[in-house]
Structure formats: C-alpha cells, structure tokens
Structure 1
C-alpha cells in the first residue's frame, strides 16, 4: 500500500475541476479565502495542501474531497462538473427537459 499522498496529482485534479467549473485561480481563491498564488502552488503540488484547504476547495467547486485524494473517482467527478457547467445559465425549462431525458435513458439503459 502506498502511504504517501501524491500532491502533484492532487493539484492536477484540483486544477481540472477548477477549469471544468470555468473558474480562474483568482476566482477560486476568492471563494476559498486563499491567495491566487497559494491556489497556484496547490495546483502545481509545490505546497502541501492542508485537509482544511482541500475541503474548502472541494466545497467551492461543488465536489467531494475524495475526488481530489482518490484517483478512482476523478473521471466521473470531472464529467459531472463539466456537465453542470454546460447547463449553467440555460433556460430552466430546457434544463428540466434535459434532466428528464437523462433520467429516462438511465432507467432504460439495458435496452440501449
């Protein structure tokens, strides 16, 4: 079992989630009360992010801490962040229709 955290990989996951959310480092910094430089260091893995920092970033990006710490949920989380970003600002009725279509497809996935 690997007992060391890969802070470069964690930073890359944070960067991917931030970019998928359409935020700049400065905007993420404002939401988390960190400086832009600190966000940059975390994303590059040149500073060890505290659990508090990772938690605040996860909250600001509407994702889970484990999506940053564990590689296994990265693809799924990034997909849903990207999907949510693409729906932001769209007509509420259209979003509701889209969600209903996705729900129906999910319920009938065996038949696809």
Structure 2
C-alpha cells in the first residue's frame, strides 16, 4: 500500500477550519507557536508538517488529526457537531447517550 499525503488538500482543510473558528493565520500561528508565514505555507501545501505541528493545529482547531489528514465523511461532521452539544451535560446522561448510540450502531443493519 503506497499512499501519499495530499498536502494541498490537508492545507485546504486546515484553512477551512481556521476560518470556521474565526482565526487569522497570525492568530493560529501564535496559538501553535508558529509564524503566520509558516501557517500560510501549510495552508497552500508547500510545507510538510511534522506530526507535532499537525497535532498542535488539530488541538487549536478542535478537530481530530484524522479529520485533517483524510477526506472527511459526512458521519465525521455529525460526530464533531455532537461533542459541543454534550460538553456541559451531566456525565451520566452523556454515558447513557453514548451507550444508546453504541447499541444502535451495533444493530444498524437490522433497523
């Protein structure tokens, strides 16, 4: 299996999430301890990221590393949108919700 990372697509997803979060390149750079120029190169796909830099960017943008690396699937967007909704909810209720989702997922072919 010989697959290459599409750094242009990766940069595009980073840029989209940066804009969604209302951040400038300068602000993202500051939060990730990188220069705005470096962020610009990353977003254009002209600079290869280290794992550490990719991880920092993902943390600041509140997305998973796999979301940035791989083409997002519609289900990923749904799961990412659920997390903020459950953020301040009682942990027991969240666990109940997750168990319900788990049971549904395990039996999805029977629905």
- When normalised by structure 1's length, the TM-score is 0.65
> Match for residue 6 of structure 2?
6
| Segments of 4+ moved more than 2 angstroms | 72-75
Q: Deviations over 1:34-66 (max 9, x none)?
A: 000000000000011111111000001111101
Give the whole-Å Cα distance in 2 for the aligned partners of 1:45 and 1:37: 12
* Higher relative contact order, structure no. (Cα contacts within 8 Å, ≥ 6 residues apart): 1
Between the aligned partners of 1:38 and 1:31, the Cα distance in structure 2 is 13
TM-score by length of 2: 0.66
> Quick one: distance in 1 between partners of 2:72 and 2:14?
14
How many residues end up aligned between the 2 structures? 85
Question: Where does the alignment leave 5 or more consecutive residues of structure 1 unmatched?
Answer: 85-95, 97-102, 104-112
Question: By how many angstroms is 1:72 displaced?
Answer: 2.8
> What are the equivalent positions in structure 2 for 1:1-112 lying under 5 Å apart?
1=1, 3-73=3-73, 76=77, 80=81
Take 1:76 and 1:4, find their aligned partners in 2: how far apart are those partners? 24
| Contact 1:17/1:61 (<8 A) preserved | yes
